[in-house]
C-alpha cells in the first residue's frame, strides 16, 4: 500500500495540535481590507434597518473602489454612502432612498449628472431576490412570468433575457444568477464560530450568504455557543456559511438594529443635510476616515448617552 | 441461505463499532468540514460525531434534510430525524439550504465542499464505479423490487461523498446497477468529470467487512483493507463484481481501547452499535 490510508491510523495518533474549535473573529479593519479587495459585494437588511454599516465604513476607509453592489431590495444609507465615497462602479437598483426623509442624495447626484462612472442596472425586488436565489443554489438563472411583459425593464436592463418555457411554449423572462464575492451581514448576536442571529428583518440574509463566495458577519454582541444552542432555529445565518465574524457594538448605526436599538434619525438627517450642502467629503472625513476605530466612531455620534437612548427608544416607543 | 450476521464481532468490539471507528479516522484534521449523514445514515453520523469530539474540532455535524447541525448528543440517535440530534444544536439546515448548498457544490464560504467528510449515501445496489440505485430492480415501472425512492442520494452528483452499505453481498454489490439514481464515477475514467463539470465522485465505500476506495485513473472500486476475522476471499466471494486488488491487502487496524472508550462514552452511551445488525452474504 503506497498511499497513506487514514482509516488505518488510530484516532489517538491523529489528535489535532489545537483541539479547540477555531474562532472566526477578526478585527473590523481587517474585515474592511478583505471587503475592499473584492469586486462584488452584497448586503442584506432592508430600508434603514440592519445595515452592515460598520463593515461598509471600514471597507470605504480601506480603499474600496470600483465595486459592484448587490443591495437588499430596499436600502438607504447602506447604498448611498458607497456612492458618496465613489466606491461603486455598478449598482443593482431596486430602491435606494430614505423614505420619509426623502431621496438618497449621492445616488441621485450620480445618476442625474450622467456620471458614467456608475452603472445603474434597472432591477427591482423580483430581479434582486430571484437572481440572488438562483446564485444561492448555483443555478444559472431564475424564471418569472406575468411581470416584465408589461413594463419597460427589458428595454432598460439588458441583463433581463427571455427564454421559452419548455412546458408551455410561452416566452418568459430569465433573471441571471447574482453571485457575489462577499456578503456582509449585520446580526444582533453571533458566536465566534459564525452562528449568527438576525432578530428581525425580512430574511434576505440567508440567500445573500448562499450566493456569496465569502461571508462576513458584523455582530452587535458576541454570545456563547451555549446561548446560541438554546434555540437553533434563531440562527438565521448558520456558522458553516460564515468566514469571518466582527464584533462591533451598535454596528448598524445609524440604521435600526432589529430588536436592539432604534434608527438614529438625527444622524440620518445630519447626513442628508450635509450631502445636500455638498459636504459629503466633510461627512466622510469626519465619520468614515476620521475615527481611528469603531469605538471612536461611537463616541463621535454621541457615545454611551446617545446609544443608550437609541436602545431605550425601542422599549418605550 | 440466511444472511450471516456479523455482529457482535469480537469479545472486545462489535463490527459496527469497528465500522464507525474506521470511518471516523479519515475525518481527522483541523480544517473546517462537513460531516454527518441524512435519513438512516446512523453509522456516518456516529463516525462524524466521534471524529468531531476527538480528531476534527472544526467539523460541522449535519443531519442532512433533518436539519439540525452540531447536535451534542452522547447517545446515538435512532436516525437523523430523532430529536436526540437536536440536543445542543447550533443552527438549522433548512431543506432549501440543503438543496442550494449541494447544487452549488460548496458551502457559501467556499472553504468546504457540501459533501466533505463522510456524509454518505447508500443504495439497494452499488456497482463497481460507485453508482447507486434506489429506484429498484427489474423493468420500470413494474419493478421486481421497488426501492423506497431516491431521496437525496442524487447529491452524490454534486460533491465527493462516501458510500456505505451495512450489508455485504452479491445482490447489493453488483457489476452494473439496474438504474443510476445517484451517480458515482459513471462508466469510470473521466466520464463523470465530462458530464458533471469536473465535480469529483465518491472517495470510499464502507462495508461491514472491508474498506474500498476508487482507483485514480479508471475509478473502479479497489479493496484497501479487510476487517479482522475476514479474508480477501470472503470479500471477493460476496462481491458481485471484480474488485481491483493491488498486492497484499492489509487487515483494517483494530479499534484500540482508547477509541472504544471514546466511542462508548462520548457518542454511543446507550451501546446501540454493539447490537446493530450488519450482515455478510445472502
Res. B1: pLDDT tops 50: no
Q: Using the beta-carbon criterion (under 8 Å), do B57 and A238 form an inter-chain contact?
A: no
Residues of B in contact with A191 (CB under 8 A): 90
Q: What is the pLDDT of residue A223?
A: 98
Judged by a CB distance cut-off of 8 A, whether residue A301 touches chain B is: no
Distance of alpha carbon B208 from alpha carbon A295, whole angstroms = 59
Point out the residue among B26, B110, B256 whose CB comes nearest to the CB of A6: B26
> For A31-48, what is each residue's pLDDT tens digit?
999 999 999 999 999 899
- Cβ atoms A29, A62 nearer than 8 A: yes
**Residue A144, strand partner residues:** A173
How many Å separate Cα B248 from the centre of its chain?
Answer: 24
- Cβ atoms B87, B75 nearer than 8 A: no
Q: What percent of chain A has pLDDT over 90?
A: 94
Closest CA to A179 of A216, A210, A153, A154: A210
> For A50-73, what is each residue's pLDDT tens digit?
999 999 999 999 999 999 999 999
Q: Which residues contact B31 (CB under 8 A, 6 or more apart)?
A: B58, B111, B112
Residue B275 pLDDT level (bands cut at 50, 70, 90): confident
Q: Which residues contact A229 (CB under 8 A, 6 or more apart)?
A: B70, B72, B88, B89, B90
**Residue A92, strand partner residues:** A121
Q: Residue A119 belongs to what H/E stretch?
A: strand A119-122
Residue in chain B closest to A191 (alpha carbons) equals B90
Q: Using the beta-carbon criterion (under 8 Å), do B60 and A239 form an inter-chain contact?
A: yes
- Cβ atoms A183, A254 nearer than 8 A: no
Closest CA to B164 of B179, B153, B148: B153
Distance of alpha carbon A296 from alpha carbon A28, whole angstroms = 13
Helices A53-61 and A77-84 meet at what angle, rounded to 10? Answer: 10
Distance of alpha carbon B250 from alpha carbon B49, whole angstroms = 27
**Residue A212, strand partner residues:** A180
Residue in chain A closest to B259 (alpha carbons) equals A11
Q: Using the beta-carbon criterion (under 8 Å), do A10 and B211 form an inter-chain contact?
A: no
Point out the residue among B92, B224, B258 whose CB comes nearest to the CB of A232: B92
> For B142-194, what is each residue's pLDDT tens digit?
999 999 999 888 988 988 888 999 999 999 999 999 999 999 999 999 999 99
Provide φ and ψ at B179, rounded to 5°. Answer: -140, 135
Nearest-Cα distance to chain A for B177, in Å, is 27
What does the pLDDT average to over A257-265? Answer: 96
What pTM did the predictor assign? 0.95
How many Å separate Cα A279 from the centre of its chain?
Answer: 25
> For B32-47, what is each residue's pLDDT tens digit?
988 887 777 889 999 9
Q: What is the pLDDT of residue B41?
A: 82
- How much is the ipTM here? 0.94
Q: What is the pLDDT of residue B115?
A: 60
Residue in chain A closest to B29 (alpha carbons) equals A16
Residue in chain A closest to B58 (alpha carbons) equals A21
Q: What is the pLDDT of residue B146?
A: 95
Q: Which three cell numbers stand for residue B49?
A: 460525531
Q: Residue B133 belongs to what H/E stretch?
A: strand B132-133
Res. B126: pLDDT tops 80: yes
Q: What is the pLDDT of residue A68?
A: 98
Question: Quick check: helix, strand or coil at residue A117?
Answer: coil
Q: Which of residues 50-109 of A touch B (CB under 8 A)?
A: none
Q: What is the pLDDT of residue B118?
A: 59
- Cβ atoms A245, A194 nearer than 8 A: yes
**∠ CA A311-A73-A257, rounded to 5°:** 10
Res. B242: pLDDT tops 70: yes
CB pairs A-B closer than 8 Å: 152
Amino acid at each position: 500500500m503506497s498511499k497513506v490510508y487514514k482509516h488505518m491510523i488510530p484516532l489517538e495518533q491523529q489528535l489535532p495540535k489545537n483541539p479547540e474549535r477555531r474562532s472566526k473573529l477578526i478585527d473590523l479593519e481587517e474585515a474592511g481590507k478583505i471587503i475592499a479587495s473584492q469586486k462584488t459585494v452584497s448586503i442584506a437588511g432592508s430600508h434603514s434597518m440592519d445595515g452592515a454599516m460598520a463593515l461598509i465604513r471600514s471597507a470605504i476607509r480601506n480603499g474600496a473602489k470600483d465595486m459592484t453592489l448587490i443591495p437588499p431590495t430596499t436600502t438607504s444609507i447602506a447604498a448611498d454612502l458607497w456612492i458618496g465615497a465613489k466606491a461603486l462602479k455598478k449598482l443593482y437598483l431596486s430602491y435606494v432612498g430614505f423614505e420619509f426623509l426623502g431621496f438618497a442624495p449621492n445616488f441621485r447626484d450620480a445618476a442625474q449628472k450622467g456620471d458614467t462612472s456608475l452603472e445603474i442596472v434597472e432591477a427591482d425586488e423580483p430581479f434582486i431576490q430571484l437572481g440572488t436565489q438562483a446564485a444561492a443554489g448555483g443555478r444559472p438563472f431564475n424564471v418569472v412570468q406575468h411581470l416584465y411583459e408589461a413594463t419597460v425593464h427589458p428595454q432598460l436592463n439588458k441583463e433581463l433575457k427571455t427564454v421559452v418555457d419548455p412546458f408551455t411554449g410561452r416566452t418568459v423572462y430569465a433573471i441571471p444568477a447574482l453571485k457575489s464575492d462577499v456578503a456582509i451581514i449585520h446580526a444582533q448576536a453571533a458566536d465566534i464560530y459564525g452562528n449568527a442571529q438576525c432578530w428581525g428583518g425580512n430574511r434576505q440574509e440567508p440567500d445573500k450568504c448562499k450566493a456569496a463566495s465569502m461571508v462576513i458577519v458584523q455582530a452587535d454582541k458576541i454570545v456563547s455557543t451555549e446561548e446560541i444552542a438554546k434555540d437553533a432555529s434563531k440562527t438565521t445565518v448558520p456558522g458553516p456559511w460564515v468566514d469571518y465574524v466582527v464584533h462591533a457594538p451598535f454596528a448598524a448605526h445609524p440604521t435600526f438594529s432589529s430588536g436592539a436599538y432604534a434608527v438614529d434619525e438625527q444622524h440620518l438627517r445630519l447626513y442628508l443635510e450635509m450631502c445636500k450642502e455638498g459636504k459629503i467629503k466633510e461627512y466622510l472625513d469626519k465619520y468614515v476616515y476620521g475615527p481611528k476605530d469603531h469605538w471612536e466612531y461611537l463616541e463621535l455620534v454621541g457615545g454611551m448617552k446617545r446609544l443608550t437612548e437609541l436602545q431605550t427608544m425601542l422599549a418605550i416607543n | 441461505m440466511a444472511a450471516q450476521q456479523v455482529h457482535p464481532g469480537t469479545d472486545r468490539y462489535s463490527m459496527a463499532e469497528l465500522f464507525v471507528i474506521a470511518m471516523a479516522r479519515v475525518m481527522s484534521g483541523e480544517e473546517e468540514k462537513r460531516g454527518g449523514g441524512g435519513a438512516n445514515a446512523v453509522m456516518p453520523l456516529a463516525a462524524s460525531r466521534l471524529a468531531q469530539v476527538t480528531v476534527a474540532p472544526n467539523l460541522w455535524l449535519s443531519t442532512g434534510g433533518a436539519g439540525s447541525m452540531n447536535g451534542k448528543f452522547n447517545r446515538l440517535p435512532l436516525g437523523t430525524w430523532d430529536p436526540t440530534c437536536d440536543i445542543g444544536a447550533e443552527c438549522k439546515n433548512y431543506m432549501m439550504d440543503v438543496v442550494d448548498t449541494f447544487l452549488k457544490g460548496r458551502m457559501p464560504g467556499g472553504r468546504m465542499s457540501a459533501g466533505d467528510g463522510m456524509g454518505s449515501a447508500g443504495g439497494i445496489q452499488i456497482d463497481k464505479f460507485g453508482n447507486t440505485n434506489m429506484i429498484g430492480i427489474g423493468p420500470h415501472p413494474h419493478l421486481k423490487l421497488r426501492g423506497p425512492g431516491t431521496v437525496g442520494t442524487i447529491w452524490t452528483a454534486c460533491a465527493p461523498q462516501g458510500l456505505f452499505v451495512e450489508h455485504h453481498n452479491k445482490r447489493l454489490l453488483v457489476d452494473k446497477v439496474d438504474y443510476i439514481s445517484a451517480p458515482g464515477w459513471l462508466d469510470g475514467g473521466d466520464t463523470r468529470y465530462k458530464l458533471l463539470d469536473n465535480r469529483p465522485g465518491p472517495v470510499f465505500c464502507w462495508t461491514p467487512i472491508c474498506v474500498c476506495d476508487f482507483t485514480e485513473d479508471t475509478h473502479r472500486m479497489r479493496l484497501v483493507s479487510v476487517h479482522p476475522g475476514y479474508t480477501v476471499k470472503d470479500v471477493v466471494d460476496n462481491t458481485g463484481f471484480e474488485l481491483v486488488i493491488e498486492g497484499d491487502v492489509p487487515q483494517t487496524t483494530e479499534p484500540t481501547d482508547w477509541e472504544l472508550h471514546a466511542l462508548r462514552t462520548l457518542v454511543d452511551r446507550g451501546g446501540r452499535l454493539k447490537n446493530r445488525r450488519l450482515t455478510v452474504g445472502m
